[in-house]
């Protein structure tokens, strides 16, 4: 589905001018759609290759340096893609459509998802694998393990995953299909590149909500808030059940 190049409003197939701002429609629609399709394919392959290579490297080395390098590559990859659509990406940092209702939802909703996901996935792991996985098994060898986990899981993931999937990828798909398909497709690709079958059970519906917030309110801020709070609370639960310490204990 094509959007106005000036204001981002959705254009119907028969529109010559944008009904929102009056800007004349770009007539090179088919060329633009073909380009967006190519960009979506390149995007998916790039992140899929990154996920596979990262998985293989982690099997060989789980050092802090390895983690920093791989996270840096992910950030750089995201910034390169976003630079290709910088003008529309920047508009997604607008606060114009944020209000107390959607902000309250973005704060409360991830509290429930964090609890449900943490204990639900733990139960599924015990049921299927007869053991539970804790992310701090990977971070226990690092000095200041919680700080590094917070940076990688609590900051880098919410900021740059939203930028990549609900920013660049979402924009490209909106050029060629409907908002509903775009929300579903970005959520599915978001789940697949996490490279975990069990995680798909919650990442896909989680991505649906993030995509809906991005579409309805035309901003990445709400999705970043939801993503950050969810990841941070899961991180706290993981750390508590790994070490027996609460956040207050760490600073006391």
Q: What is the pLDDT of residue 242?
A: 84
What is the pLDDT tens value at each position of the chain, 252 positions in all?
566 666 767 766 556 566 677 666 565 557 778 889 999 999 999 999 999 999 899 888 878 899 999 999 999 999 999 999 999 999 999 999 999 999 999 999 999 999 999 998 888 877 776 667 778 877 877 888 899 999 999 999 999 999 999 999 999 999 999 999 999 999 999 998 887 777 788 999 999 999 999 999 999 999 999 999 999 999 999 988 887 766 666 656
Per the domain annotation, does 11 fall within a domain?
A: no
Over the Cα atoms of the chain, what is R_g? Answer: 20
Q: Identify the residue whose tokens are 């409907």.
A: 178
Residue 130 is predicted with a pLDDT of 64
Query: What is the span of the domain harbouring residue 198?
Result: 32-251
Does residue 170 sit within a domain? yes
Residue 3 falls within a domain, yes or no? Answer: no
**Inside any domain, residue 207:** yes
Q: Can you give the pLDDT at residue 45? A: 94
- Which residue in 224, 252, 247 sits closest to 147, CA to CA? 247
* In a domain? residue 107: yes
CA 63 from centroid of its chain's CA atoms = 25
The total number of structural domains that make up the chain:
1
Tell whether 140 is covered by a domain. Answer: yes
């Amino acid at each position: 589905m094509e959007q106005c190049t000036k204001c981002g409003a959705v254009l119907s197939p028969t529109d010559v001018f944008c009904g929102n701002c009056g800007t004349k429609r770009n007539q090179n629609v088919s060329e633009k759609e073909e380009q967006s399709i190519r960009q979506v394919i390149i995007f998916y392959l790039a992140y899929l290759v990154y996920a596979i290579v990262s998985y293989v490297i982690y099997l060989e080395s789980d050092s802090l340096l390895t983690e920093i390098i791989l996270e840096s590559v992910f950030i750089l990859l995201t910034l390169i893609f976003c630079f290709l659509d910088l003008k529309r990406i920047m508009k997604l940092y607008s606060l114009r459509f944020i209000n107390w209702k959607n902000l309250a939802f973005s704060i409360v909703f991830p509290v429930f998802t964090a609890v449900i996901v943490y204990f639900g996935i733990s139960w599924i792991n015990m049921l299927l694998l007869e053991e539970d996985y804790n992310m701090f098994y990977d971070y226990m060898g690092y000095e200041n393990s919680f700080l590094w986990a917070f940076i990688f899981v609590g900051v880098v993931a919410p900021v740059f995953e939203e930028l990549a999937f609900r920013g660049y990828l979402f924009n490209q798909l909106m050029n060629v299909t409907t908002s509903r398909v775009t929300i579903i497709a970005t959520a599915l690709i978001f789940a697949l590149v996490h490279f975990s079958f069990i995680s798909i059970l919650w990442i896909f519906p989680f991505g649906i909500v993030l995509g809906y917030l991005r579409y309805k309110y035309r901003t990445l801020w709400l999705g970043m808030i939801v993503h950050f709070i969810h990841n941070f609370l899961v991180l706290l639960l993981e750390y508590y059940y790994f070490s027996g310490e609460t956040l207050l204990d760490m600073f006391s």
